Amino acid sequence: MPSTGFLLPPDVQALLDAGRTIDAIKQLRVVQGLGLKEAKDLIDAHQQGHHATPPAHSTGFASDASSHVPDSVRQALAAGNKIEAIRLLRAHAGIGLKEAKDRVDALAASTGNGNPHGLSPGEQPRGGSQGVVWIVAALVVALAAFYLLRP
C-alpha cells in the first residue's frame, strides 16, 4: 500500500483494496465533499505513491460520511425532501448552495435515497404505457359495440 502523507478513510481504502477504484472515488467525494477531479486526483496520487494533500476547502478525512452530515439532513433526504436537506446542510456547514447541493446529491446517490424519476416529494410516477392500454381497450369495446348494434 503506497504512502502519500494522508490517510484515506477505511471504507475508501477497502474499496481500493478490492479493486473498485470508481466506487472509492465516489465514496471519497461523499466523505470529503470533493469534486470529481479532486477526488480522482487524490486516489490516483495515493495509488501511485505520490505525496498529495486534500484541498483546503475539504472537510477532513473521517471513517464515515455521517460525521459530516447531520441526521436531520439524512432524514429530510430519506423523506424525499432534497430541498430541505440542502437547506439544513447549508445552515449546519455554512457552505454555499452549489456545494450543499452537490454534497446532498452525492449522499443521495451513495445511500440509494436519490430520486431516480425526478419527482417532487409525494408526486407519483405517471402511468406511461398503462394509459395506452386503456385507450386501446376502449377502442376495441367501441368497435365491438358498433358492429353488434348496427341494423
Q: pLDDT per residue over 50-80, tens digit each?
A: 655 665 555 444 333 444 678 888 888 888 8
CA dihedral for 92, 94, 97, 103, sign (positive or negative)? negative
Q: Which of 10-19, 36-45, 66-75, 89-98 comes out lowest in average pLDDT? A: 66-75
24: left (phi over 0), alpha (psi -120 to 50) or beta: alpha
Q: Span 21-46, mean pLDDT?
A: 83
Predicted TM-score of the model (pTM): 0.38
Q: How far is CA 41 from CA 10, 11, 48, 136, in A?
A: 18, 18, 10, 55
